[in-house]
Amino acid sequence: MPTIKETAGEFLAQKSIAVVGVSRDPKKTANFIYRKLRQEGYRVFAVNPNTAMAEGDKCFPHLKSIPEKPGTVIVVTKPRITEQVVRDCAALGIKRVWMHQGMDAKSTSVSNEAVEFCRNNGIEVIPGACPMMYCSHADMGHRFMRWFQGVSGNLPKI
């Protein structure tokens, strides 16, 4: 069974990543993730059906409207929306989904139904944690979160 670190490395080895939940509000978590990935040289796609632009880039209304199939989808939405996103991933043949979760259970995209759907449909899933904890240039706060969640046993089970 692979570790979260190994699986995160595989997810972040993909060169194109869609971030679902990017907002017009630059203070939102999805926007931070989007900006960080863009700064690290990824080809990133912002996805939100409620805005045409985010972070100065075109925002796609759904995964089907992205001009290329992303290697990884990071979901930063409410859990009920995550359930539809993973169905879209299956329909498009996307094989990696990361459901973001912050430090508390209130800031989660994880849906048990969506996790089960992924596992039953051949989609690798990381159900929790933050991708920024595993970026090559993770900031001190995210490195601390990775350490703390590791020692407290709160990293997601792969």
Per-residue pLDDT tens over the stretch 47-99: 999 999 999 999 999 999 999 999 999 999 999 999 999 999 999 999 999 99
Per-domain residue ranges for the chain? 4-150
Q: What is the per-residue pLDDT for 105?
A: 66
Q: What is the rounded CA–CA span in Å between residue 88 and residue 72? A: 13
b/e code 39-71 from CB counts within 10 Å (16+ = b): eeebebbbbbeeeeebbeeebbeebeebeeebb
Superfamily in which the 4-150 domain is placed by CATH: NAD(P)-binding Rossmann-like Domain (3.40.50.720)
For 125-149, how does the pLDDT look when each residue is reduced to its tens digit (9 = 90+)? 999 989 989 888 888 888 888 888 8
Q: What is the per-residue pLDDT for 156?
A: 81
Q: What angle do helix axes 79-92 and 112-120 make, rounded to 10 degrees?
A: 10
Q: Of residues 139 and 43, which shows the higher confidence score?
A: 43
Q: Residue 28: pLDDT above 90? A: yes
90 Cβ contact list (under 8 Å, min separation 6): 117, 121, 123
Q: What angle do CA 20, 25, 76 make, to 5 degrees?
A: 25
Band of pLDDT at residue 4, cut at 50, 70 and 90: confident
H or E segment and range at residue 74: strand 72-75
Report yes or no: 98 and 74 within 8 Å, Cβ to Cβ.
yes
Task: Say which range, 5-14, 24-33, 148-157, has the weakest mean pLDDT.
Answer: 148-157
Q: Of all residues in the chain, what percent carry a pLDDT higher than 70?
A: 99
